[in-house]
Amino acid sequence: MTRKDRMSGNQAAAEAIRQINPDVIAAFPITPSTEIPQYVSSFKADGLIDTEFIAVESEHSAMSACIGASAAGVRAMTATSSAGMALMYEMLYVAASDRLPIVLAAVNRALTGPININADHSDSMGARDAGLIQLYSENAQEAYDNLLMANRIAENPDVMLPIMVCQDGFITSHGIENIIIEDDAKVKDFIGEYRPEKYLLNPSESLAVGPYSVSPYVIEMKRAAHEAMKNARQAVADVSADFARVFGREYGFFEEYRMDDAEYAVLVMSSAAGTCKDAVDELRAAGIKAGLVKLRMFRPFPADELADALKGLKALAIMDRSDGFSGTGAPLNAEVRAALYGKADVKTAGYIYGLGGRDIKVDDFKDIFGELADLAAGKELPYCRYIGVRE
């Protein structure tokens, strides 16, 4: 039965995994995602799932084991964060290249160094070119919902790519919030069975996975994965529409909050979007036409749709929770600017915020909206700059 509950984002992810009941989970603990495999191993011990839980010796092995399991023909999942994800990077590329629909519950944490355990997006941004679909979640509910959709998106025959569902470390992974947990049977029905076309443990067909590719094949394989990532757009749209039909919660490539007549907007991902919504409401009450675009889908990147949603704005703030160290702007900023180029003449200001868990407040967003008004009025603002930093 559908139930109202309260739990942390990690518990919510674990609940999703319990309901998905994947065939294999291979994981290695790392803060702040440790609780996810911990809860899942309890479910296993309590007989609530029949998942094969593989306690591996590293994240590299976790993704390797998932690759083996997924290639064998079953649903495989893992969870990780930060340095653990970095140790997985090599195998993330392999998972994507092998076109295996592995689901990764990611809990975003700063990538060392300096050593820090708190939230930022440097870990998943480091994996942005690996070929995984990436969805970002504002709160525990969205982390849960995105995970319920993840398998179907990844397993779409036109896609067949691994997927990463991200939420902010500690801020949502360890905070208790209200959540709606859907009925087990209804979720099972929604997710359905996984029936891969080709798989290693098929006794009637032999198969080799992950062979060496000489140069005459590599670019063709990348081109095919490129197409699969493009196809993921439709898969995300379709599965999200079906999710809305079954469970009533709607998800697009991004959420537009009070954008109808907005003049100034902030574009941000994950937990900070909720904080920004409060700022938007306060500014709206004061007569300022503020709005928010919360990007849910970073890979594939919905460039055309974003350009369409953002055109007509007087000014836009693009918020990155990682640097990227291009020396100019951070990754989200660069991609949004590229999306706008030639399509929408919007003045933008890039901001790098919240690194290593640095808090961002409603007032910070109000300040940013204030700067956007200055920008629209003709004041020069840097292409991208740090906020919340001691000058």
Partner 1 sequence: MSEKENLMKGIDERSPWRDITAGGFVYGSGNSEYFNTGDWRTRTPVWKPEHCRQCLLCFPVCPDSSIPVSEGKRGDFDFGHCKGCAICAKVCPFGAIDIVAGTESAEKGGEEA
Partner 2 sequence: MIEIRWHGRGGQGAKTAALLLADVGFSAGLFVQGFPEYGPERMGAPITAYNRLSKDEIRVHSNIYEPDMVVVVDETLLKTVDVAAGLKTGGKVLVNSSRDPAEVLAGFGALNGEVYAIDAVDIAVRTIGKPMPNSPLLSAAIRLSGIMGKDEAIAAMQGAFTEKFASKPEVVGGNMKAVSEAWSAVLKIN
**Binding residues for partner 2 (CB under 8 A):** 5-6, 32, 117-118, 138-139, 168, 170-172, 174-178, 271-272, 274-275, 277-278, 357, 359-362
Q: Which two three-digit tokens encode residue 138?
A: 């504002």
Q: Report the residue number, 66 or 279, with the smaller CB distance to partner 2.
A: 279
- Beta carbons of 108 and 270 less than 8 angstroms apart: yes
Q: Report the residue number, 70 or 270, with the smaller CB distance to partner 1.
A: 70
Gyration radius from the chain CA atoms: 21
**Distance in Å, CB of 216 to partner 1, minimum:** 4
Which of the listed partners (partner 1, partner 2, none) does 221 bind, with a CB threshold of 5 to 8 Å by partner kind?
partner 1
Q: Which of 232, 242, 347, 346 is nearest to 296 (CA)?
A: 232
Q: Distance of alpha carbon 154 from its chain centroid, rounded? A: 13
User: What residues numbered 147-176 form the site for partner 1, per CB under 8 A?
Assistant: 160
Which of the listed partners (partner 2, partner 1, none) does 206 bind, with a CB threshold of 5 to 8 Å by partner kind?
partner 1
Q: Which residues of 84-102 are buried (b: 16+ CB within 10 A; e: fewer)?
A: bbbbbbebbbbbbbbbbbb
- Beta carbons of 30 and 19 less than 8 angstroms apart: no
Residue with tokens 């998942």: 51
Q: For residue 220, state whether it binds partner 1 (rule: CB under 8 A).
A: yes
Q: Which of 310, 366, 369 is nearest to 335 (CA)?
A: 310
Interface residue with partner 1 among 206, 325, 342, 378 (CB under 8 A) is 206
Q: Report the residue number, 7 or 67, with the smaller CB distance to partner 2.
A: 7
Which of the listed partners (partner 2, partner 1, none) does 209 bind, with a CB threshold of 5 to 8 Å by partner kind?
partner 1
User: Which span (42-50, 171-179, 201-209, 337-345) binds partner 1, by CB under 8 A?
Assistant: 201-209
Which of the listed partners (partner 1, partner 2, none) does 271 bind, with a CB threshold of 5 to 8 Å by partner kind?
partner 2
Residue with tokens 């490539």: 253
Which of the listed partners (partner 1, partner 2, none) does 198 bind, with a CB threshold of 5 to 8 Å by partner kind?
partner 1
Q: Which two three-digit tokens encode residue 136?
A: 């970002």
In three-state secondary structure terms, 253 is coil
Q: Which of 334, 91, 97, 333 is nearest to 229 (CA)?
A: 97
Q: Which of 74, 67, 75, 82 is nearest to 117 (CA)?
A: 82
What is the Cα–Cα distance from 387 to 360, expressed in whole angstroms? 9
Interface residue with partner 1 among 14, 63, 100, 259 (CB under 8 A) is 100
Q: Which of 93, 128, 166 is nearest to 330 (CA)?
A: 128
Which of the listed partners (partner 2, partner 1, none) does 217 bind, with a CB threshold of 5 to 8 Å by partner kind?
partner 1
User: Which span (162-170, 221-229, 286-294, 315-323) binds partner 1, by CB under 8 A?
Assistant: 221-229
Q: Which two three-digit tokens encode residue 375?
A: 């920008």
Which of the listed partners (partner 2, partner 1, none) does 58 bind, with a CB threshold of 5 to 8 Å by partner kind?
none
Q: For residue 98, state whether it binds partner 1 (rule: CB under 8 A).
A: yes
Interface residue with partner 1 among 45, 185, 201, 224 (CB under 8 A) is 224
Chain contacts with partner 1 (rule: CB under 8 A): 97-100, 160, 198, 205-211, 213-214, 216-217, 219-221, 223-224, 227-228
